[in-house]
Every structure is written in C-alpha cells, then in structure tokens.
C-alpha cells in the first residue's frame, strides 16, 4: 500500500485574495507532494505499508523523526485542504456546530480569539488545531508536522480543523504578517466539512 496525494476539488486561484494562486500551487505540488513521496519511500518494505495513516501517527512520536515528520506532513495537509472552501460557501458554522462551540468556549468569538491566538503564538513552524478529546472540543498547537493524534506531545485528541502556520503556507503573500493570514483563514473555512469531521468522532 502506498499513500497518494489527494485530488483537490478546487483550483489554485479559487481562494484569492485570501491565499494567492502561487502559494497554493507550491504548497500542494511541492511541499505536500514531497511529504507524500518521502513517506512512501520510508515505509516501503516495512509493516507500516499495511497500516492506515492514523495507525502510523499513533506510533510516530519516536526516534525516527523522518517518519514522524513526513507522516504528519501527509496527514495534516490532507485535513487542511478538506476544510478549505472557495466562493464563500459554508463559511458559517451551522446552528448545531455553533452550539457545540459555544458550549466549550462560551461564544464563537471567544473560540475564534483563542484559536487565532494559538496559531499566532505557535513559535516557528507548526499548526493550530481544533480537536476533540474526551467528547469535548479543545484548541491546541503543535510544532513542525506534529498533530494531536500523536501521543505525548501535550495536544492529544482527534483533529477536526487545522491551520498550517508554516511560512510556506503564507509567506509569498503575507511575508511576516502571520496575523493577516490567520484573519483571512476565517473567510475560507468549510464549516460543513468541520461538522462532518465532528460527527465522525462523536457518533
């Protein structure tokens, strides 16, 4: 079994002016493709070829940093592409999901502020996450290509929304203005997909 780069259901320019075409193209064709190719090479001939990506991630917080980084990079970007939506569709959470957010964070604005802070204050390269742990919504951040499925990183859970704050995700357009990039992210979130992710975890 080998992992495949997912097919995008939108074009690279669909997110302008929030994310420019060149950034999307390089992000997908160079960075995500590289993680995918490297992961397949690293697991070739091992028992990991018969594992799901989630099973690999649960074992990946270990000495083999190459497998850890590339398996994380593959999974994280898969989720990231899924929760983006062009043309301003599904950019508000449904009443159902909004109620779940309010239950855990008091209000949507409080949630948005906490998530944005986690993304902005992630030092260096990393990710901000909305995940589910023990049936509750939780916000946390991870360094590099780590994610909440990995154990022992202080950010455990099942991610349902993630924001890439590596410089390759925004620097061509925003340079050092990470906060502007984070603000733009809120305009292109596919909340319908986030809700689907939520329902898969909490059945």
Reported confidence tier of residue 1, pLDDT bands at 50, 70, 90: low
- Asked whether residue 136 carries a pLDDT value surpassing 70, the answer given is yes
Provide CB contacts within 8 A for 31, sequence distance 6+. 73, 77, 166, 168
pLDDT of residue 113: 98
pLDDT of residue 6: 97
pLDDT of residue 63: 76
**Which of 77-80's residues contact partners 24+ apart within 8 Å by CB, and which partners?**
77/27, 77/28, 77/31, 77/32, 77/35, 77/164, 78/6, 78/53, 79/159, 79/161, 79/162, 79/197, 80/162, 80/163, 80/164
| Average pLDDT value over all residues in the chain | 95
Question: pLDDT tens for residues 41-52?
Answer: 999 999 999 999
CATH top class, domain 20-203: alpha beta
What's the distance, CA 160 to chain centroid? 8
How many residues in total does the chain contain?
203
User: In DSSP terms, which residues pair with 84 in a beta bridge?
Assistant: 189
Question: pLDDT tens for residues 144-153?
Answer: 999 999 988 8
Question: pLDDT tens for residues 71-90?
Answer: 999 999 999 999 999 877 66
Question: pLDDT tens for residues 83-114?
Answer: 999 877 667 899 999 999 999 999 999 999 99
For the chain, what are the domain ranges? Answer: 20-203
3-state secondary structure of 96: helix
> Is the Cβ–Cβ distance between 75 and 147 less than 8 Å?
yes
User: In DSSP terms, which residues pair with 137 in a beta bridge?
Assistant: 132
User: In DSSP terms, which residues pair with 136 in a beta bridge?
Assistant: 133
């Amino acid at each position: 079994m080998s992992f495949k780069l997912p097919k995008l259901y939108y074009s690279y320019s669909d997110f302008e002016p929030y994310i420019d075409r060149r950034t999307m193209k390089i992000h997908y064709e160079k960075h995500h493709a590289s993680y995918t190719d490297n992961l397949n090479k690293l697991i070739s001939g091992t028992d990991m070829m018969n594992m799901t990506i989630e099973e690999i991630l649960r074992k990946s917080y270990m000495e083999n940093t190459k497998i850890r980084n590339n398996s994380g990079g593959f999974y994280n970007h898969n989720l990231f592409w899924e929760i983006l939506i062009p043309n301003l569709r599904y950019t508000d959470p449904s009443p159902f999901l909004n109620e779940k957010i309010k239950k855990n964070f008091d209000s949507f604005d409080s949630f948005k502020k906490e998530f944005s802070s986690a993304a902005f204050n992630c030092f260096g390269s990393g990710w901000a996450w909305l995940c589910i742990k023990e049936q509750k919504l939780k916000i946390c951040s991870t360094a590099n290509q780590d994610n909440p499925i990995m154990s022992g990183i202080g950010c455990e859970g099942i991610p349902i929304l993630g924001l890439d704050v590596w410089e390759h995700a925004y620097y061509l357009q925003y340079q050092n203005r990470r906060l502007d990039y984070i603000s733009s992210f809120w305009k292109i979130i596919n909340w319908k997909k986030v809700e689907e992710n939520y329902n898969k975890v909490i059945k």
